[in-house]
């Protein structure tokens, strides 16, 4: 995950929600978002 930019991570998270991908994958992205202290209100 460290190779992804914050922007790419946010984009992946948004797309995973829109495509209704598996919740485990969405949670993995969300964990990384929290670890990077990205404000979810910006998403």
CA distance 35 to 22: 20
CA distance 36 to 32: 6
Q: What is the pTM of this model?
A: 0.85
Q: Class assignment of domain 6-36?
A: mainly alpha
DSSP string computed for 1-43: -TTS-HHHHHHHHHHHHHTT--HHHHHHHHHHHHHTT--GGG-
The answer to whether the CB of 36 falls within 8 A of the CB of 19 is no
Give 24-35 pLDDT, tens digit per residue.
999 999 999 999
> Beta-carbon neighbour count of residue 40 at 10 Å?
10
Give 1-25 pLDDT, tens digit per residue.
679 999 999 999 999 999 999 999 9
């Amino acid at each position: 995950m460290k190779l992804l930019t914050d922007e790419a991570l946010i984009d992946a998270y948004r797309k995973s929600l829109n495509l209704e991908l598996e919740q485990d994958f969405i949670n993995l992205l969300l964990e990384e978002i929290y670890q990077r202290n990205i404000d979810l209100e910006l998403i």
